[in-house]
Amino acid sequence: MATVPSVSYSITVRLEVPAGGKAVSQLTHAVESAGGVVTALDVTNAGHEKLRIDVTCAARDTDHAQAIVDQLEAVGGVVIHKVSDRTFLMHLGGKIEMKSKVPLRNRDELSMAYTPGVARVSMAIARNKEDARRLTIKRNSVAVVTDGSAVLGLGNIGPEAALPVMEGKAALFKRFAGIDAWPICLDTQDVDEIVRTVQVIAPGFGGINLEDIGAPRCFEVERRLRELLDIPVFHDDQHGTAICVLAALTNALRVVNKNIETVKITMAGAGAAGNAVLRLLLAAGARNVVVCDYLGAVHKGRDDLDESLRWIADHTNAEGYSGDLRGAVKGADVFVGVSAPGILTGDDIAAMATDAVVFALANPEPEVSPDEAAQHAAVVATGRSDFPNQINNVLAFPGVFRGLLDAQAGGVTQEMLLAAAGALAAVVTPEELGPNYIIPSVFHPDVATAVAAAVRESAGGRARGFTEA
């Protein structure tokens, strides 16, 4: 699917042009004729004969960026000096750092922060381990743990390649909830090793955020860690996605004046995200759901069902539909896709019920073109930032962990997830609610605080374990 120029493919080209004449306007024209967008143009050095200019522009992808550079180089008198990818520049040296919260200006301060004064604090914790939440970073720290096996839409690219993503996650924790998060990228994809590693590092953290671990291993990793640890374990790919989907669907159904208890919901995707979304939708009252994977509808008559698919078959598709996704979508009120790109067409959406709701969340390319879907559906949401109604997990996980840490919760319950979804949906006021605004912006100032308050109230102190649907 064609995309528009994006700041994520933004470049700065440092070049020289002859002074005077139409040089500057020619540069702008060259970028625009190549399909790019000029976002800044700065003269960094001027002389009587030459101008040094930094041209910053947005492209569609890396090939398009090179095409823009070629077009600039073709302008008469232009000499290219340097091309910088702004996204790579942002990542140079990493995106996060550790800072001391206390001054260390003299011997007195050093003696309290470190030896000998710190020994008294250590002994207090040795006498009562719960004091670690009060006297150390544990009270505000989350480990962001991955094995690099399912990174974004990139697949199994390994722990080193996952690190920039985990750094970004840590930065989001800090920006939106004031939480100190630490990337933990494990060089193993063995369930036993992952579980044991997280178990032995857990004393230093107030919560564990599992990230980008492939299914079905992620289910077992989370289950076992919940049993072993007395701090919350939250798999964002599952539960963060589920919270956002339920919040958005709650508001979308208000727009079309339908109820979750009576609508027909078709889902594409039975992996980690799909499984969690399904469970939360059922907990919220959904009754008529059909889930499809790459083999078609999940139903009790299939002979390839593992434990996860068996659960889905037992709790959905009461009529035993056994066809493909296109058939399952016909007449449906809601489509939720957490699967693969381009698996539906506008004609498929046209076959849905009147005032249909379409959540095509595969990223970067959705299950169906949002433009085509919008021709037939009343409400369309995606995982992309260049269309209305972006379903983005950053709407959920910072506030969820803020509430968990503040409550000193020992686990995550389904009631907390439902409360978080309800609070997130309520950020959109009745006056604001509409087909193109069913979910707030990630920069809305009330999102994290509202979600945190709901989770904190639901926790009611120290919750233990995780109650499944």
Our answer to whether residue 169 is catalytic in this structure is yes
Q: Across residues 214-232, what is the average pLDDT? A: 94
DSSP label of 426: H
Q: What angle do CA 185, 294, 361 make, to 5 degrees?
A: 60
Other CB atoms within 10 Å distance of the CB of residue 124: 13
pLDDT band at 461 (very low <50, low <70, confident <90, very high): low
> Tokens representing 15?
């070049």
Partner residues linked to 267 by β-bridges: 291, 336
> Is residue 40 within 8 Å of 11, Cβ to Cβ?
no
Which amino acid, 379? V
Our answer to whether residue 321 is catalytic in this structure is no
Cβ burial of 469 (10 Å; 0-12, 13-18, 19+) is middle
> Tokens representing 468?
């499944």
> Is residue 26 within 8 Å of 72, Cβ to Cβ?
no
Other CB atoms within 10 Å distance of the CB of residue 129: 11
Give the pLDDT of residue 4: 81
Q: Across residues 115-141, what is the average pLDDT? A: 95
With H, G, I as helix, E, B as strand and everything else as coil, classify residue 233: strand
Mean pLDDT for all residues in the chain: 93
pLDDT band at 295 (very low <50, low <70, confident <90, very high): very high
- Over residues 54-91, the pLDDT tens digits come to 999 999 999 999 999 999 999 988 999 999 999 999 99
> Tokens representing 354?
């009147």
Q: Where are the beta strands (DSSP E) in 19-138?
A: 37-46, 50-59, 79-85
Question: For residue 25, what are the CA distances in angstroms to 7, 336, 360?
Answer: 22, 47, 41
With H, G, I as helix, E, B as strand and everything else as coil, classify residue 420: helix
Asked whether the predicted pLDDT for residue 3 surpasses 80, the reply is: no
Asked whether the predicted pLDDT for residue 1 surpasses 50, the reply is: no
Q: Across residues 256-279, what is the average pLDDT? A: 96
Asked whether the predicted pLDDT for residue 463 surpasses 70, the reply is: no
Asked whether the predicted pLDDT for residue 464 surpasses 50, the reply is: no
What is the value of pTM for the model shown?
0.89
Catalytic one among 22, 95, 114, 174? 114
Percent of the chain, pLDDT > 90? Answer: 87
Percent of the chain, pLDDT > 70? Answer: 97
With H, G, I as helix, E, B as strand and everything else as coil, classify residue 100: coil
Question: For residue 329, what are the CA distances in angstroms to 59, 148, 301, 323?
Answer: 35, 33, 20, 10
Asked whether the predicted pLDDT for residue 431 surpasses 50, the reply is: yes
Catalytic one among 50, 95, 138, 169? 169
- Over residues 169-216, the pLDDT tens digits come to 999 999 999 999 999 999 999 999 999 999 999 999 999 999 999 988
Asked whether the predicted pLDDT for residue 468 surpasses 60, the reply is: no
List of residues 6+ apart from 353 with CB closer than 8 A: 264, 331, 332, 333
DSSP 266-315: EEE--SHHHHHHHHHHHHTT--EEEEEETTEE--TT-S---HHHHHHHHH
List of residues 6+ apart from 13 with CB closer than 8 A: 54, 55, 56, 57, 68, 69, 72, 80, 82, 83, 84
Partner residues linked to 289 by β-bridges: 265
Which amino acid, 392? N
Asked whether the predicted pLDDT for residue 352 surpasses 70, the reply is: yes
